[in-house]
Amino acid sequence: MVVELVCVGTELLLGNIVNTNAAFLARQCAMLGLSMYHQSVVGDNEERLKETIRTALDRSDIVILCGGLGPTQDDLTKETAAAVMGFPLVEDAHSKERIEEYFKNSPFKIITDNNWKQALVPEGCIVIDNHNGTAPGIIMEKDGKSMILLPGPPNELIPMFHQDIFPYLNRLQPETIYSVMVKLCGVGESLVETEILDLIEAQENPTIATYAKTGEVHLRVTARASDEKEARKLLKPMLKELKKRFGSHIYATNEATTLEESIVALLKEKNLTLTTAESCTGGMLSARLTNVPGVSEVFKQGFVAYSNRAKRKLLDVKKNTLKTYGAVSEKTAKEMAKNGAFITGSDICVSITGLAGPDGGTETTPVGLVYIACAYQNELRIREFHFKGNRQKIRELSTVNALTLLRSCILEKETAGK
């Protein structure tokens, strides 16, 4: 089935609000196996909104509109959509009661006349309760088409979609759609695509879609079947083939698992302790790690040694090293990692030193030059990177590559020990 998304609001066109609803709804529709070929953003103008809705209905089975269900005069979505579908508006007693209850329990006790506008719904529609606001969701069905109206605020839209709209759409889709997200690190998107090009060209069911993330590549493998059990069965050979091709580059096959979560689990499994020593990332690496619940079992300490003096004082980097080779150098990164592990008594220490810019670059030390080192017991690994992008991008790339190097060191040590 084909679904189309229409987001309503002049503030979206002006860029005053970032349209996060579109990204959320597109992901959800993809999970449901619905085909989305068009998305639109239209301002609070009745004629333009009518034209957009008519076009969407002509080429789609399902139209989802979000925004414009509020109590003010410029909230036109419900009235316009109902007119296009040919449904008169009638008062819904249940919605009116919910609006009264909402105001009774809120700091704003006075209900103005325009609030009752939200109790008007298209005749014969399905009314969806809004547990986080006053505007109910609405589903209209006519001539084999479905039109779904959702409130604009994400804290209202997202819970409503999960609780009521997702199951509704799932019932419309005759097949079960089941997906597994295969997450890779330490390998680039172009190489991944090259390695699976034969699978992509031959794909029918299941299918593979690639998603490039900062320092990672995700592969969504999706199967259509009569039920989940059959879909899982269809996915099994494809997942086995991907594991064969990418091996240890795969760090998770669960969409909810992050790279740092997989590493913390690995540290716990191997009974290893970790320290971080950061310069240009300013604690970004330790912040990602400490986002993981239970990391205190394995994470000993995080150093942020930004200045040369801090590198000497906190991590015993030699004065001569900094003078001769500079703060952004292989030698400095090695000393940061080696000394960080020794000072804290950790099994592993990962260090990062680099130049994030935008200023300060030279011919020998350009912006984006980053050294990452990993000291693991008696072994030391170092990698040199030349990242492109703004300051934030360089810091993010440094962090994710430090996580990738850490993971690689643990896995390679384990393989060497067998």
Question: Each residue of 135-169: b (16+ CB within 10 Å) or e?
Answer: bbbbbbeeeeebbbbbbbbeebbbebbeebbeebb
Indicate whether 137 and 244 sit together in one domain: no
Q: Are residues 154 and 9 in the same domain?
A: yes
Q: 412 or 370, which is more confident?
A: 370
Write down which residue in 196, 227, 252 finishes a domain: 252
Q: Characterize 348-361 residue by residue with b for buried, 16 or more Cβ atoms within 10 angstroms of its Cβ, and e for exposed.
A: bbbbbbbbbbeeee
Domain that holds residue 78: 2-172
In total, the chain counts a number of residues equal to 418
pTM of the model: 0.77
- Tell me, yes or no, whether 198 and 306 share the same domain: no
| 95 pLDDT more than 80 | yes
pLDDT band for 114, please (50, 70, 90 cuts). confident
Q: What is the mean pLDDT of residues 123-139?
A: 95
Confidence of residue 416 (pLDDT cuts 50, 70, 90): low
**DSSP H helices in 5-153:** 10-13, 20-31, 46-59, 77-85, 93-104
* pLDDT, position 103: 85
pLDDT at 122 over 90: yes
Same domain, 90 and 195: no
Same domain? 23 vs 76 = yes
Q: Are strands 2-8 and 62-66 parallel, antiparallel or unpaired?
A: parallel
Of the pLDDT bands very low, low, confident and very high (cuts 50, 70, 90), residue 368 is very high
Strongest mean pLDDT among 203-207, 223-227, 371-375: 371-375
Per-residue pLDDT for 8 more than 70?
yes
Mean pLDDT of 62-91: 96
Cβ atoms of 224 and 177 closer than 8 Å: yes
Regarding whether 194 and 131 lie in a shared domain, the answer is no
Among 111-115, 127-131, 259-263, the range scoring the smallest mean pLDDT is: 111-115
Q: Is the pLDDT confidence value at 417 over 80?
A: no
User: What mean pLDDT is predicted for residues 46-58?
Assistant: 98
Count Cβ atoms below 10 Å from residue 103 Cβ, excluding itself.
16
Between 174 and 150, the more confident residue is 150
Look at the chain and report how many structural domains it folds into: 3
Q: Residue 228: which pLDDT band, with cuts at 50, 70 and 90?
A: confident
> How does DSSP classify residue 295?
G
pLDDT of residue 310: 98
CATH number at residue 287: 3.90.950.20
pLDDT of 227 reads 84
Please state the rounded mean pLDDT for residues 154-175: 92
Predicted local confidence at residue 320, as pLDDT: 98
Write the pLDDT tens digit of every residue in 234-289: 999 999 999 999 999 999 999 899 999 999 999 999 999 999 999 999 999 999 99
Give residue 170's Cα distance to chain centre: 23
Terminal Cα distance for the chain, rounded: 52
**Last residue in a domain, options 252, 278, 311:** 252
Token pair for residue 155?
């804290």
Return the pLDDT at 378.
86
Among candidates 78, 80, 81, which has minimal Cα distance to 69? 78
How much is the pLDDT for 413? 79
Specify the long-range contacts of residues 95-102, CB closer than 8 Å, at least 24 apart: 95/119, 95/121, 95/127, 95/136, 98/129, 98/130, 98/134, 98/136, 99/134, 102/133, 102/134
Give the CATH number, domain containing residue 147: 3.40.980.10
Task: Give the model confidence (pLDDT) of 289-339 as tens digits.
Answer: 999 999 999 999 999 999 999 999 999 999 999 999 999 999 999 999 999
- Rounded mean pLDDT, 333-358: 98
Backbone angles phi, psi at 59, to 5 degrees: -115, 5
pLDDT number for residue 175: 79
> Which comes out higher in pLDDT, residue 269 or 34?
269
418: pLDDT strictly greater than 70: no
Q: Tell me the per-residue pLDDT of 70-84, one tens digit each, with 9 for 90 and over.
A: 999 899 999 999 999
Mark whether 138 and 183 lie in a shared domain. no
The pLDDT, as a whole number, for residue 173 is 80
Same domain, 241 and 126: no
Name which residue leads in pLDDT, 153 or 106.
Answer: 153
**DSSP 8-state symbol, 125:** P
Mark whether 66 and 146 lie in a shared domain.
yes
Same domain? For 238 and 295 the reply is no
339 and 217 housed in the same domain: no
Instruction: Assign residue 236 the CATH number of its domain.
Output: 3.30.70.2860
Indicate if 181 and 61 belong to the same structural domain. Answer: no
Q: Which of 201, 235, 252 is the last residue of a domain?
A: 252
- Predicted pLDDT of residue 189: 92
The residue-averaged pLDDT of 30-50 equals: 93
**What's the rounded mean pLDDT across residues 128-152?**
96
